[in-house]
Amino acid sequence: MEIKFDKDIEERLKALCERTGKSRDLIIQEAIKLFLDEIEDYEIALSRLQDENDPIISSEEMRKRLGL
């Protein structure tokens, strides 16, 4: 797979490779995984917010339930 980045991203990626000693491919793979994890977490949170059967409670109520 070939991915083309703008100059700024290429420079930042090159600098990160040099600082960490990691390969370009590994850094890109890790970045994509982190991005996908974040998007999936966001989708889960959004679906829970939209679920009428899943009540939303205040932070105060959550602390009480957790005994904090």
DSSP state of 17: H
Say if 56 falls within a structural domain. Answer: yes
Domain ranges, residue 62: 7-66
Please give the pLDDT value at position 26: 97
32 close to 43: Cβ distance less than 8 angstroms: no
Please give the pLDDT value at position 21: 98
Say if 2 falls within a structural domain. Answer: no
Please give the pLDDT value at position 31: 97
Say if 1 falls within a structural domain. Answer: no
3 close to 28: Cβ distance less than 8 angstroms: yes
Domain count for the chain, please give it.
1
pTM score, whole prediction: 0.70
User: What's the number of CA atoms in the CB half-sphere (13 Å) around residue 28?
Assistant: 12
Say if 35 falls within a structural domain. Answer: yes
Rg (CA), the chain: 20
Say if 20 falls within a structural domain. Answer: yes
For the stretch 7-65, pLDDT in tens is 999 999 999 999 999 999 999 999 999 999 999 999 999 998 898 888 888 999 999 99
Please give the pLDDT value at position 49: 87
Q: In 1-68, which ranges are continuous DSSP H helix? A: 7-20, 24-50, 59-66
